[in-house]
Amino acid sequence: MSKTETALRELAQMDELAAGDSPVHRLHPLPKLVLTVLYIVLVVSFGKYDISGIIAMLLVPVLLYQLSGIPVRTCFFKLRYVLPLVLAVGIFNPFFDKAPLLAIGQVKISGGVVSMITLMAKGILSLMASFLLMATTRLDSLCSALRKLHVPSLLVTLLLLTFRYVGLLTEEVAVMSEAYHLRAPGQKGIHISAWGSFLGQLLLRTMDRAEDLYNSMRLRGFNGDFPYAAPPRFSVRDLLVLLLGAAVLLLLRFVPVASMLGSLLVR
Amino acid sequence: MLDLQNVSVSYEKGKPVIKDLSFHINKGESVGLIGANGAGKSTLMKALLGLLPATGRILVDGMAVEKANLPAIRRRLGYVLQDSDDQMFMPTVLDDMVFGPMNYGLSRAEAEEKAAAVLARLSLSDLAGRQNHRLSGGEKRMAAIATVLAMEPDVLLMDEPTSNLDPFNRRIVINTIGSLPQTRIITSHDLDMILDCCTRVILLSDGRIAADGPAGVILRDKALLEAHRMELPLSLSRL
């Protein structure tokens, strides 16, 4: 299977994952969206040395991945291109912050190492939460939830089309790249001298296709709203899920659960 | 059903691609729109759908193609794109089929009922839950036609419906098109298909009507077709 086919298949697999059936899939998209955003905000808000707090936040995705039936390895596999970037964020901290912060036995660990691990953990947890949202909620349902939150129609349509556009872009890259390599045998990649025209042509071709796709949507009545993806009415149960979820997240953020458990064990 | 009066369409000012076209299409007619590349076939289709601004007057069922009428007009006109990949943008065939009806106010249950009826009529019921990206070319083309039929349009506009299909799937698509009761306007270079599916042919050349008449007459006129960079349908050229 070519790289392009693999990429297209992986994109389509997101739709297949989202079409699954589990307690997490069945949740109303609105609380899922709000709780994911809240989770990310809370994770990011931890101090740079607060590694124990972050560990407590790990409980949430671990539990939800189990409940949704989505293997964590699928998340890491799909995010394999982004994860190195996330991991690279704090990589220089140990060089700038060398003051010892804690010790494990005889080994002293500097603040830089702790802050690097904290930063990486924040990134990984945020990605895990975002992926879980995407993998358990159809994109159009998500867009519908965004519209319910009064996010402008233009932005939501842009999000939807971008997701659909990535597939077209990948296909066009594959076709053009194949055409290039058939006339440049033995050449690895695309020569730098051809980059300009390659990218220009790619942009023009994908714009044409994206326009066709958008026209096809408009011709079938699309006007920026998502009635076909409208979730069921927001019920009292959904409100309870939202409130309870928010309470748990706030508890994990502001009560030092990990430290308390640790001190219990040490006693 | 469709009435065009002195219609011109330009992409660039002063360079019309469609030049002062006038014709009328009656309800239930099946019209082949043929012409060489660049003759203006697709441009004319887009103008009919209100996707391109046009001068002159285009009436669909008595309604002028203008911004205020576009939702009503687009509900009456179903457009099958040349590239089914551009038409099938939802995860599954069923999702794609309910997309249009629900945008026009139907509930999910009502839209699914319509979709199921269309799929059953086209003998495609097994496609309903299939992922779009896993369909073959022929299945995708049939599904694209089904998505448009689910909106119950009065007029079907089809852009090259048999392009890139193998002979077997091409025949299925032709038989399906032939069985549809709607008014049909089909653009294609597949003149054999036009001969099979259409009773009337409009030959466009350089943005103007070069001929308009019964398909059996125009598609047999070798001199006329060759004068406009076309050839006799293969099935007739062998005779």
Here the ipTM equals 0.83
pLDDT by residue (tens digit) across B56-110? Answer: 999 999 999 998 999 899 999 999 998 888 888 888 899 899 999 998 889 889 9
CA–CA separation, A93 vs A139, rounded Å?
Answer: 37
Which chain A residues are Cβ-neighbours of B147 within 8 angstroms? 220
Residue with tokens 């007029």: B155
Alpha-carbon gap: A206 to the closest alpha carbon of chain B (Å):
11
Closest CA of chain A from B71, distance in Å: 7
Helices B137-149/B93-103 angle, 10° precision? 20
Contact status of B74 with chain A (Cβ, < 8 Å):
yes
Contacts of A228 in chain B (CB under 8 A): 95, 98-99, 102-103, 108, 111
pLDDT (tens, 9 = 90+) of chain A, 267 residues, equals 567 777 777 777 888 888 889 999 999 999 999 999 999 999 999 988 888 888 889 999 999 999 999 998 888 888 888 888 887 877 888 888 778 777 777 888 888 888 898 999 999 999 999 999 999 998 888 888 888 888 888 888 888 878 777 877 888 888 888 888 888 877 788 888 888 988 899 888 888 888 888 889 889 988 877 776 676 788 899 899 999 999 999 999 988 877 777 777 666
Residue B42 tokens, joined = 């697709």
- Whether A109 and A99 have beta carbons less than 8 Å apart is answered as no
B98 contacts in chain A (CB < 8 Å): 228
Nearest to A228 among B86, B87, B99 (CB): B99
pLDDT tens digits for range B15-34: 899 999 999 999 999 999 99
Every domain of chain A and the residues it spans: 1-16+150-229, 20-137+235-267
Q: How many CA atoms lie less than 13 Å away from B4 in the CB half-sphere?
A: 21
pLDDT digits (tens, 9 = 90+) for B143-186: 999 999 999 999 999 999 998 888 988 999 999 999 999 999 99
CA B167 from centre of chain: 20
For residue A214, the chain B residues in CB contact (below 8 A) are: none
Percent of chain B whose pLDDT exceeds 70:
99
Interface contact flag, A221 B81, Cβ < 8 Å: no
Q: Is the pTM of this model over 0.80?
A: no
User: What is the nearest CA distance from B219 to chain A, expressed in angstroms?
Assistant: 30
